[in-house]
Structure 1
Amino acid sequence: MLSFLHYHAPEVDEKFSEGVYKKYLESLDPQKLYFLESEIDEFYPYRKKLGNAFINGDTEFFDLSITHLQRKIVKLEALSKKILSRSFDFSKEENITLDEKNNSYAKSIQQWEDQWRKYLKYLTLIEMTTSKKEAEKEKPENSNAVSEESARKRVLENMTDYLRQFKMKKKSDLFSVYVNAITSQYDPHTAYFSVKEKEDFDFKISGQLEGIGAILQDKKGYATIAELIAGGPAWKSKKIEVGDKILKVAQGKHGKSKNILGLLLSDSIRLIRGKKGSVVRLTLQKKDGHTEEISLVRDIIEQKETFAKGAVLEDEDKNSYGYIYLPEFYFNPNNKNGRNAASDLRKEIEQLKEKNIKGLVLDLRNNSGGSLETALDITGLFIGKGPVVQVRRNDGKKETLSSNIKSPLWKGPLIVLVNEASASASEILAGALQDYKRALIIGGPQTYGKGTVQTLYPLDRFRLSEKNMGALKFTISKFYRVNGSSTQLKGVQPDLIIPGRYSYTKFGEKDQENPMKWDSIGAIPYRRWENETELKNVKEKVKNRIQTNPDIKFLDKLARSMQMFEEDKTVPLQWKKFQADKKERKEKNKAFDSLKNYTNGLAVTSVSIVYPLEKLAEDQEKEWKKNMGRDIYLGTAIETLRAYK
């Protein structure tokens, strides 16, 4: 499939092989804590052979590496108990480097053990300094022995639990790590999904799954209720509480119960999930120790954070403006008639229009993309019928994708908020609205820079096996704006730039391994919006205000300082120096919090009805409104809308 259908398949040669080798070892042992240099020497002869191994279906290198890793896990279990049984010397001057590029593999077992001693010491320091008791009492160096012992005990519990879960994994569970080292050589977005990973992907992209509506955590081998989703079957039953442990799972009214104690959490979740309307029986150990069987009817569970959310904002002059936050271009890959971002956004706009808003802000910050078709429909809500994006396939053929919505739903002033994490479909929408001169784009220096299109193909379609083989996500085409420019690497450059936390750090397509190159094709005819002159005048007015705004200048200064901290990954393991280093980093991050004193003067007078709020979400809703009032980007957006006539 990759050889014939990928947009730009690389040659499977020695360079390809070395890329797979490097990526796989980085994924398997990122901090170089597991393998010895002698083991890497044993792996080294494979570095130029993995391309041929890929073509021939040879997994010898994978089998060898996992065998070595599994042996190390067994040794590490005994070593961590030994190290954490004794107090650490926090007066000793030593550091740990948390930068995989500058770390090296241990040359001997003694050096390997010392690497783990430092790492466990580092984890213990974190436990000590994040302990509530430690923070409250602020004990001096010589009086924290009890705290140190408690911290070591907690680290040992966590390590024991981690190693227990790892030992339960089969080679097949780790195989996707190896396969994805291969697919990563094609581009950053080509990937293999195991059956479990495909289920998680579908949930993420649709915001929906079928189950009981509970978030689970693994606690010492017990699948434990960590959170109940408002409106879900578990929440409605009033019989399940946070902290309950699930001991057994049975299917249907008469199915035999299966003990899930010690099972991998992902496997337990697969037993608990199921089709809407089906019955699942859970044997619970309640917090008081007694056991109880609960019968639940599964239902569709919605993750409210995925869906569009709107509000009406009032400025100090009682002018009303609309605001819509769109976290993803969601759709249901298994149901074309299911819920999607375009239909929800239409409802939000219709609702906001009834409030007589003077302008609209569409927030695409941190929106990593989703459905291309949904992006076309949403663009049409603002431009009506017309070309939105050009697509070029791997065979060189070009196609123009258009909105078929006859008339725009919103014709008034429009602002689009973006940041460095706005990617893919977000860039298609923002780029089209910018090219049409339909909206002003506000955000960091550029968006993420993902100008490629992927498709998802179930591998069991080949019928090579009765077994479900998962799915392959791979790049089939590149997209280009109507002006002919690609967003690949360069992203969308906003009309009005406000720096963000990640503006000067490595965060984008250009900073990934094996990204596709930027290029351009010819522009296609499109009709710009009628108020282009007014939009230009508004841009110039607000641009001058942004450049002189002291809060934005301060934000820029902080963003630049984050770059320095990202590059410095050496941490001292001496108590006083560790505390001083942690305090300095905390104060740098706290500096961003000082912007919480900023207020944009906006009042939230009504909120979205697309996703009705349940009682359990009231606190979150209050916090959301509060944060909107402190949002400097939103304040600038409303200030820009006020500049319209």
Structure 2
Amino acid sequence: MKKQMLLVAMLAALSVQVGAAVPEKAAADTVIKPQPGQTQAALWASRVLGKLHYKPMPLDDAMSEKIFDRYFKSLDSEKLFFTQADIDQYTIVRTRLDDAILGENLSVPFGIYNLYQQRFAERISYARELLKTKFDFATDESYQYDREKADWVKSDAEIRDLWRKRVKNDWLRLKLAGKDDKSIRDTLDKRYESYISRSRKLTNEDVFQIFMNAYAMSIEPHTNYLGPRASENFDIAMRLSLEGIGCVLQTREEYTVVREVVPGSPAGLSGKIKVGDRIFGVAKDDKSPMTEVLGWRIDDVVALIRGPKDSTVRLDILPADAGVDGKHTTVTLVRKKISMEEQSAKKSIYEVKDGAVKRRVGVISLPTFYLDFEARRRNDPDYKSATRDVARLLVELKKEKVDNVLIDLRNNGGGSLSEAVELTGLFIDKGPVVQQRNADNKVEVESDTNAGMAWDGPMGVLINRGSASASEIFAAAIQDYGRGVIIGEPSFGKGTVQTIFPLDRFAPNDKVHYGELKLTVAQFFRINGGTTQLRGVTPDIKLPTMGDSDTFGESSYDNALPWVAIKPAVYIPVGDLKEMLPILDKKHESRVAKDKDFQYLSEDIALVKKQRKDNLISLNEAVRRKERETQDARAKLREARLLSPVPGADDPILIPDAKELAKQAAAAKAGNGKTAAAPKVAAVKGALRTDDGLQGDERTLAAELDAEKAAKAAKDVLLNEAVHILADEVSLLKTDTRMASRVLPYAVDSVK
């Protein structure tokens, strides 16, 4: 489901909060009201959306009804807090939200939010009261865990019964995980209390952002309102750098805890900050007093720590190994530019046995199409770019004599359109890559104009349901040119182009900030004339579909733009894969039929799909315990197989990267003087895991980090199969010169 837990909309808002760095602590009964600047920002946003959007829609009564429904859904997507009576009492304003925006009076949407806060507090208080009762786990009843498409409950009695089942399920999950009653009661009471604590930290800026996004997304799914802080975070994600100290932080209970220290950063080089340290105070410069941040929202703490490059920040730290009354230390650091290397392109090399020879496949994982626009505008010679990084990695892979290259775009949600075009240019000589059509039906063609290829050998692209936008542009162009094999599952289906429009240009002065709009201004089309909109990119060789098209992807939106086609661009395919693809697919089917791990994963995917379709979970302990025992037995059997000396004789062998090994060794020795042993593979990526009944911050930080480490070490069955497919391609091309001349007519010599 799109939103699987309480407060998703609320917690998402916490991460992109717009207000000042120092929060005001709100009381439980605080009434949140709109600010004058917000009413003006809403008005200007409506004018921009009404004129510049690709699909401009008038802000009228019809739009008001859409905003009304989406706003209530944004606040309570699982229909756990409002009743139908709550909705009905606002029916009179259902067609008047357009008047609220145009008349600069947002009291109604803020009133709706204040009612939500009231209902939220009531439901959570009731949940905490239920913890004092005794549940009967012998009865045969079930709980509908995904209520996004359910109707609003009719009465308070119904919603109380809904919460009884929800709490009962939370309790049962912990009981099945081996917790006793006291531990369960304490865990859940603290969990529900934290829900209230987080809800009280929402500000009028958060409420404004939720409401404005209900408006923007009622036009089209990918149009959004970004407040100043959300805009800053979006920019950081695009350029993969920020100015700070190099700590990844998270909230655990009321503490701000260091979750990761970036190697080579000011924090890392100082040696004074460790994972698990708690930050109690921040002084944003040499002269400012220390501000206590206990109980603060994480984004407010981050905003205080960030600052201009070469400026000083002081932190009041309680070390990880100290008790709550332990001795604090003050750490002074100089902020520097921090590169987010974890999100950069990375390479690896796999070897596959092919009779007496070995085929080497280079894999480049690209999490996003990033680009530091500002640095490029300044002509900075070292500006960050996905294409530049991939080009560098291709040079390294050539030196390491790989036979084939796989670009892994799984869960790459897109990014810079220009990067998608330039990245395609690394694999074709010259030519069109994507077409754009604006609101005036004017079509422009984006082309690669750089002669030559960075890699002219065989290649493939691995995609899944999370591959969207720029990823789909790249994969579609590679497919249309016949340049490479597309492997995986159908992609997301986002075929629209967004641009950032700053609303601050309408602000009366520099002190007033209206935020930005990310609005859809065009639709992109493949060079063959089709579009990836709604349908996505269909792979040449399909792997098991892990996503759910009903709840994830463009087709899950109720107002997505339709699939259409335009005139194809003028281009010449560089290869013809039609003859080769059926052969590769047959080899693939034959191999996975004998691959136990692939079959296990397929079984898990089928089980998850069945559970989604049923959308009911038993609250009978005996039934659930039997289900858990079956799953545990299956998991142990698979784990034993993976830990056996020869879990898969035909698995591709990962060739260690010398630079990465040296980096890991240095990081390990910096901690205890010993080089960490490689983690054992005891799981398959995407497989079902045993439920411990806990949420992320309820586990110890050490346990959470160990789980992440294990997840990274898990066997990637789908990647392994994609590597096998490309190894098969190499074998075909090296043994069949006629086929090679069709697939790679410009580079036949490279595959001999």
Question: Aligned match of 1:215 in 223, 244, 248?
Answer: 248
Name the counterpart of 1:64.
Answer: 111
When structure 1 is superposed on structure 2, of 448-457 and 313-322 the one drifting more is 313-322
SS across alignment from 1:475: strand
Q: Do residues 577 (structure 1) and 628 (structure 2) align?
A: no
Question: Aligned match of 1:566 in 595, 612, 620?
Answer: 612
When structure 1 is superposed on structure 2, of 158-167 and 634-643 the one drifting more is 634-643
Q: Do residues 245 (structure 1) and 245 (structure 2) align?
A: no
Name the counterpart of 2:4.
Answer: none
Q: How many percent identity over aligned positions?
A: 31
> Cα deviations across residues 102-140 of structure 1 (Å, max 9, x unaligned)?
54545444544443333222222233334xxx1xxxxxx
Query: For the Cα contact (< 8 Å) 1:192–1:472, is it kept in 2?
Result: yes
Query: For the Cα contact (< 8 Å) 1:347–1:610, is it kept in 2?
Result: no
Name the counterpart of 1:140.
Answer: none
Quickly say closer, same or farther: Cα 1:432–1:273, change in 2 above 3 A.
same
SS across alignment from 2:375: coil
Query: For the Cα contact (< 8 Å) 2:550–2:556, is it kept in 1?
Result: no
Name the counterpart of 1:139.
Answer: none
* Unaligned 5+ runs, structure 1: 135-143
Question: Aligned match of 2:175 in 128, 145, 165?
Answer: 128
SS across alignment from 1:209: strand
Query: Which structure 2 residues correspond to residues 415-430 of structure 1 after superposition, within 5 A?
Result: 415-430=460-475
CA–CA separation in structure 1 for the residues paired with 2:522 and 2:213:
20
Name the counterpart of 2:293.
Answer: 260
Report the Cα offset of residue 542 of structure 1: 1.0
Q: Which amino acid aligns with 1:70?
A: Q
Question: Aligned match of 2:725 in 631, 636, 644?
Answer: 636
Query: Which structure 2 residues correspond to residues 589-628 of structure 1 after superposition, within 5 A?
Result: 597-598=647-648, 600-607=650-657, 613-614=663-664, 615-616=666-667, 627=715
Question: Aligned match of 1:537 in 566, 576, 579?
Answer: 579
Q: Do residues 359 (structure 1) and 359 (structure 2) align?
A: no
Q: Which amino acid aligns with 2:543?
A: I
Query: For the Cα contact (< 8 Å) 1:66–1:171, is it kept in 2?
Result: no
Q: Which amino acid aligns with 1:451?
A: G
Query: For the Cα contact (< 8 Å) 1:329–1:425, is it kept in 2?
Result: yes
Query: For the Cα contact (< 8 Å) 1:84–1:153, is it kept in 2?
Result: no
Name the counterpart of 2:64.
Answer: 17
CA–CA separation in structure 2 for the residues paired with 1:430 and 1:391:
16
Name the counterpart of 1:320.
Answer: 360
When structure 1 is superposed on structure 2, of 288-297 and 573-582 the one drifting more is 573-582
SS across alignment from 2:733: coil
Report the Cα offset of residue 495 of structure 1: 1.9
Name the counterpart of 2:30.
Answer: none
Q: Do residues 55 (structure 1) and 105 (structure 2) align?
A: no
Report the Cα offset of residue 628 of structure 1: 5.5
SS across alignment from 1:90: coil
Name the counterpart of 1:452.
Answer: 496
Query: For the Cα contact (< 8 Å) 1:212–1:234, is it kept in 2?
Result: yes
Question: Aligned match of 1:290 in 313, 327, 332?
Answer: 327
Q: Do residues 546 (structure 1) and 588 (structure 2) align?
A: yes
Query: Which structure 2 residues correspond to residues 39-188 of structure 1 after superposition, within 5 A?
Result: 39-76=86-123, 78-101=125-148, 103-130=150-177, 134=178, 147-188=180-221
CA–CA separation in structure 1 for the residues paired with 2:197 and 2:55:
42
> Cα deviations across residues 14-53 of structure 1 (Å, max 9, x unaligned)?
4422222221111101222222332222122222222333
Q: Which amino acid aligns with 1:62?
A: P
Q: Do residues 303 (structure 1) and 340 (structure 2) align?
A: yes
Q: Do residues 330 (structure 1) and 370 (structure 2) align?
A: yes
Question: Aligned match of 1:34 in 81, 91, 99?
Answer: 81
Query: For the Cα contact (< 8 Å) 1:252–1:279, is it kept in 2?
Result: yes
When structure 1 is superposed on structure 2, of 118-127 and 396-405 the one drifting more is 118-127
CA–CA separation in structure 2 for the residues paired with 1:573 and 1:269:
41
Q: Do residues 190 (structure 1) and 220 (structure 2) align?
A: no
Report the Cα offset of residue 547 of structure 1: 3.5
Report the Cα offset of residue 378 of structure 1: 0.8
CA–CA separation in structure 2 for the residues paired with 1:583 and 1:65:
45
Q: Do residues 393 (structure 1) and 443 (structure 2) align?
A: no
When structure 1 is superposed on structure 2, of 210-219 and 244-253 the one drifting more is 210-219
CA–CA separation in structure 2 for the residues paired with 1:209 and 1:166:
28
Q: Which amino acid aligns with 1:627?
A: K
Quickly say closer, same or farther: Cα 1:276–1:267, change in 2 above 3 A.
same
CA–CA separation in structure 2 for the residues paired with 1:620 and 1:193:
42
Query: For the Cα contact (< 8 Å) 2:240–2:384, is it kept in 1?
Result: no
Q: Which amino acid aligns with 2:106?
A: T
CA–CA separation in structure 2 for the residues paired with 1:170 and 1:506:
29
Query: For the Cα contact (< 8 Å) 1:225–1:244, is it kept in 2?
Result: yes
CA–CA separation in structure 1 for the residues paired with 2:564 and 2:60:
25
Quickly say closer, same or farther: Cα 1:345–1:123, change in 2 above 3 A.
same
Query: For the Cα contact (< 8 Å) 2:281–2:317, is it kept in 1?
Result: yes
Quickly say closer, same or farther: Cα 1:539–1:75, change in 2 above 3 A.
closer
Query: For the Cα contact (< 8 Å) 2:435–2:444, is it kept in 1?
Result: yes
SS across alignment from 1:429: helix
Quickly say closer, same or farther: Cα 1:359–1:260, change in 2 above 3 A.
same
Quickly say closer, same or farther: Cα 1:168–1:364, change in 2 above 3 A.
closer
SS across alignment from 2:310: coil
Report the Cα offset of residue 380 of structure 1: 0.8
CA–CA separation in structure 2 for the residues paired with 1:442 and 1:593:
27
SS across alignment from 1:365: coil
Q: Do residues 526 (structure 1) and 571 (structure 2) align?
A: yes
Report the Cα offset of residue 602 of structure 1: 2.2
Q: Do residues 516 (structure 1) and 605 (structure 2) align?
A: no
CA–CA separation in structure 2 for the residues paired with 1:588 and 1:395:
57
CA–CA separation in structure 1 for the residues paired with 2:235 and 2:173:
35
Query: For the Cα contact (< 8 Å) 1:379–1:433, is it kept in 2?
Result: yes
> Cα deviations across residues 295-342 of structure 1 (Å, max 9, x unaligned)?
111222233331111122222223333221111111124432421100
Q: Do residues 432 (structure 1) and 482 (structure 2) align?
A: no
Quickly say closer, same or farther: Cα 1:292–1:274, change in 2 above 3 A.
same
* Unaligned 5+ runs, structure 2: 1-47, 669-675, 682-711, 735-752
Report the Cα offset of residue 78 of structure 1: 4.1
Query: For the Cα contact (< 8 Å) 1:222–1:247, is it kept in 2?
Result: yes
Report the Cα offset of residue 541 of structure 1: 1.8
Q: Which amino acid aligns with 2:230?
A: E
CA–CA separation in structure 1 for the residues paired with 2:119 and 2:517:
31
Report the Cα offset of residue 600 of structure 1: 4.4
Name the counterpart of 1:138.
Answer: none
When structure 1 is superposed on structure 2, of 549-558 and 92-101 the one drifting more is 549-558
CA–CA separation in structure 2 for the residues paired with 1:107 and 1:527:
61
SS across alignment from 2:186: helix
CA–CA separation in structure 2 for the residues paired with 1:471 and 1:103:
34
SS across alignment from 2:129: helix
Name the counterpart of 1:232.
Answer: 265
When structure 1 is superposed on structure 2, of 475-484 and 305-314 the one drifting more is 305-314
Q: TM-score, normalised by structure 1?
A: 0.90
> Cα deviations across residues 60-103 of structure 1 (Å, max 9, x unaligned)?
32122122122234434643443223443333443322222454
Report the Cα offset of residue 398 of structure 1: 1.2
Query: For the Cα contact (< 8 Å) 1:558–1:591, is it kept in 2?
Result: no
SS across alignment from 2:427: helix
Q: TM-score, normalised by structure 2?
A: 0.77
Report the Cα offset of residue 174 of structure 1: 2.0
When structure 1 is superposed on structure 2, of 548-557 and 338-347 the one drifting more is 548-557
Q: Which amino acid aligns with 1:165?
A: R
> Cα deviations across residues 472-520 of structure 1 (Å, max 9, x unaligned)?
1111101111111111112122222222322776432112221111111
Quickly say closer, same or farther: Cα 1:540–1:158, change in 2 above 3 A.
same
Name the counterpart of 1:462.
Answer: 506
CA–CA separation in structure 1 for the residues paired with 2:520 and 2:662:
37
Q: How many residues get paired?
A: 627
Quickly say closer, same or farther: Cα 1:150–1:472, change in 2 above 3 A.
same
Q: Which amino acid aligns with 1:447?
A: S
> Cα deviations across residues 526-555 of structure 1 (Å, max 9, x unaligned)?
1221x43xx333223212223434046776
